[in-house]
Amino acid sequence: METAPDSGVSMWQVLASGVILVFLGGLLLARPAWLDAVLKAMGSLPAGRREKRAIPGCIIASGAGWLFVWFVQIYPFYNGLKPLWIAFLAWTMPPAAAAVFAGVLIWTVILRRFVTSGPSV
């Protein structure tokens, strides 16, 4: 059993981040045309079938990671101690969730322009 790690961020911020990302991913998954509209506004081609599932799925996974961290921080474990695997996940989840979200942003904003740019005339 491990003690809870100290965090420099408010748990309300972690909760809000998780809820917003899960909600945004769910909206993009339910309405793929919105993702195409965002990509078109950035000057890129519409998303393919794989991207229409992968981008919202990664956003949902990132939000779920933040919600897991929030839950682990507020849940009253026995004697204030957490099982080692929970402590390990709570320690590794914030950088992993941030990396997944950063990867989605880098793909949609920067790399997608080079990979899927239209024909240059």
Domains of the chain: which residue ranges? 9-115
Render pLDDT for 35-70 as a digit per residue (tens, 0 to 9): 999 888 887 888 888 989 999 999 999 999 999 999
Write 82-91 long-range contacts (CB < 8 A, 24+).
82/1, 82/2, 82/3, 82/4, 83/1, 83/2, 84/1, 84/2, 87/2, 87/3, 87/4, 87/5, 90/4, 90/5, 91/5
Q: Given pLDDT bands bounded at 50, 70 and 90, which one contains residue 117?
A: low
pTM of the model: 0.81
